[in-house]
Amino acid sequence: MPMALEGIKIVDLSRMAPGPFCTMVLGDLGADVIRVEEPGGGRMARERSAEIDQTQTRRRAAFNALNRNKRSIALDLKNPDAQRALHDLTKDADVFVEGFRPGVVSRLGCDYRTLSAINPRLVYCSISGYGQDGPYSSLVGHDINYISVGGALGVIGPRDGAPVIPYNIIADYAGGGFHAATAILAALMARERAGRGQYVDVAMSDGVAYMLASLMSEYFSGGAPPERGRTNLNGGAPYYNVYRCRDGRYLSVGCIEPWFWSALCEALGREDLIAGQFDPDRAEYIENELARAFETRDRDDWWETLSAVSSIAVTRVTTIEEAARDPQNLHRRMVIEAGQVDGETVKQVGIGPKLSDTPGSVRSLGATVGQHTDRILSDLGYSARRIARLRESGAVE
């Protein structure tokens, strides 16, 4: 059975998390992804090269899930010969992904105008912090900056406290990587009707704002703007909150529905709290009472009791270590043995989308920089002598 994206060729020029995550998703679903990397792995890798040997390099590449199901070619795109090789690589490509600041790809000879002239069917996706236009387009940034501009950071954190910085999954992975993957798939569908590709401009700050659709809708319809720790879904309600247990670990409570709330209060022996669920005047009192109740037992003790009642929306707040052995995650194959490197078993995160007829798979572990250069160029029709000349000139590695 062919995979969902089998036959789709993707040239990936991205570097930081959003682009590699986007192409990991597409590669997991069957696309042929070719990473175009700098010889030596770029500035960061060169500065750290003295610290690691080849065994460590292979291990690091193999364990990096973002680079699985991808081949690697190393091209110095400041070299005209390398630019020509990239042009040859994109002649039959379906998708091109880059994650540079606006304007950089023009200097590297691989902007949309150049590549679409070579291959009109190419779907070209640029992933950047603030997009290709607008007053912030030339600014540098990272996840923390994009979730600030998009509006998410301002609503995360305790009431009367500073914003709480989440891990970089909101802008980088969701607003950037998943946002881009969705847009690319839509553009590929459109190509089936129109017969030509198009340019896809993905801004991580746009993606963050996009995911705030519900909050924005409430605000635009005349509602008060949400404040940190004061709305029903960001810490302002006792029935949707986190509580510290006796052992210092936490439970998350999501008992929004009155019947969930009633079941929780009954399990805690606090039926007197049921009627006040939505009473703002009693919210602080109820939260304090729940906090005192949960402090009387360890987290897993509470979890064993409360998880036995199917109508109570409570779960453990787990560490990454605990998540990696959680029975639900294991059952759903979100932790897998992806292969081996130098005799060591490589564990990775599993594949999120579960397709019944064309499931995704991990077919290869991450490659080292330039591991497939010769094979990729050979597939393009380059002779061994021509490849040797390119390597001698520093155009490839």
Q: Read off the CATH number of the domain in which 82 is found.
A: 3.40.50.10540
Residue 326 appears among annotated catalytic residues: no
pLDDT of res. 42:
66
Q: What is the mean pLDDT of the chain?
A: 95
Separation of alpha carbons 357 and 295, rounded Å: 47
Residues 121 and 252 occupy one common structural domain: no
> Would you say 21 and 177 are in contact if contact means Cβ atoms under 8 Å apart?
yes
Task: Specify the higher pLDDT residue, 283 or 51.
Answer: 283
Indicate the residue type of 207. G
Inform me whether the pLDDT recorded for 26 exceeds 80: yes
Question: Considering the domain boundaries, does residue 313 fall inside one?
Answer: yes
Question: Considering the domain boundaries, does residue 40 fall inside one?
Answer: yes
Q: Read off the CATH number of the domain in which 290 is found.
A: 3.30.1540.10
Residue 172 appears among annotated catalytic residues: yes
Residue 46 sits in which domain range? 9-211+340-393
Question: Considering the domain boundaries, does residue 51 fall inside one?
Answer: yes
Residue at token pair 């880059």: 98
Residues 190 and 265 occupy one common structural domain: no
Residue 44 pLDDT class (50, 70, 90 cuts): low
Inform me whether the pLDDT recorded for 273 exceeds 60: yes
pLDDT of res. 53:
83
> Would you say 397 and 37 are in contact if contact means Cβ atoms under 8 Å apart?
no
pLDDT of res. 395:
97
Separation of alpha carbons 108 and 100, rounded Å: 11
Q: Using alpha carbons only, what angle is made at residue 73 by residues 71 and 79, rounded to the nearest 5 degrees?
A: 160
Last residue of a domain, one of 297, 323, 349: 323
pLDDT of res. 390:
97
pLDDT of res. 246:
98
Residues 267 and 346 occupy one common structural domain: no
Separation of alpha carbons 206 and 174, rounded Å: 11
Inform me whether the pLDDT recorded for 381 exceeds 70: yes
Beta bridge partners of 347: 337
Residues 49 and 155 occupy one common structural domain: yes
Residues 278 and 360 occupy one common structural domain: no
Instruction: Please give the full DSSP string across 262-297, using - where no structure is assigned.
Output: HHHHHHTT-GGGGGGTT-TTTHHHHHHHHHHHHTTS
Residues 249 and 300 occupy one common structural domain: yes
Residues 86 and 138 occupy one common structural domain: yes
Please report, rounded to a whole number, the percentage of residues in the chain having pLDDT higher than 90.
94
Question: Considering the domain boundaries, does residue 4 fall inside one?
Answer: no
Catalytic residue among 81, 87, 88, 142: 142
Inform me whether the pLDDT recorded for 47 exceeds 80: no
- Total H helices, total E strands in the chain: 17, 11
Catalytic residue among 12, 28, 32, 172: 172
pLDDT, mean of residues 119-133: 98
Please report, rounded to a whole number, the percentage of residues in the chain having pLDDT higher than 70.
97
Residues 184 and 304 occupy one common structural domain: no
pLDDT, mean of residues 164-190: 98
Question: Considering the domain boundaries, does residue 388 fall inside one?
Answer: yes
286-333 residue pLDDT tens: 999 999 999 999 999 999 999 999 999 999 999 999 999 999 999 999
CA-CA distances (angstroms) from residue 349 to 78, 169, 216? 35, 15, 33
SS3 346: strand
pLDDT, mean of residues 341-369: 97
Tell me how many domains the chain contains. 2
pLDDT of res. 2:
87
> Would you say 208 and 136 are in contact if contact means Cβ atoms under 8 Å apart?
no
> Would you say 312 and 263 are in contact if contact means Cβ atoms under 8 Å apart?
yes
Residues 165 and 35 occupy one common structural domain: yes
Residues 114 and 61 occupy one common structural domain: yes
Separation of alpha carbons 270 and 195, rounded Å: 64
Beta strand extents in the chain (DSSP E only):
9-12, 32-37, 70-74, 95-98, 123-128, 199-203, 240-244, 250-254, 314-316, 335-341, 344-349
Smallest Cα–Cα separation from 315: which of 258, 238, 243?
Answer: 243
Question: Considering the domain boundaries, does residue 249 fall inside one?
Answer: yes
pLDDT of res. 255:
98
pLDDT of res. 41:
77
Question: Considering the domain boundaries, does residue 381 fall inside one?
Answer: yes
Last residue of a domain, one of 277, 293, 323: 323
Residues 51 and 196 occupy one common structural domain: yes
Helix axes 258-267, 299-306, angle to 10 degrees: 120
DSSP H or E stretch at residue 153: none
pLDDT of res. 141:
96
pLDDT of res. 341:
96
189-243 residue pLDDT tens: 999 999 999 999 999 999 999 999 999 999 999 888 889 999 999 999 999 999 9
* pLDDT-wise least confident of 77-81, 113-117, 158-162, 323-327: 158-162
Residues 47 and 147 occupy one common structural domain: yes
Question: Considering the domain boundaries, does residue 26 fall inside one?
Answer: yes
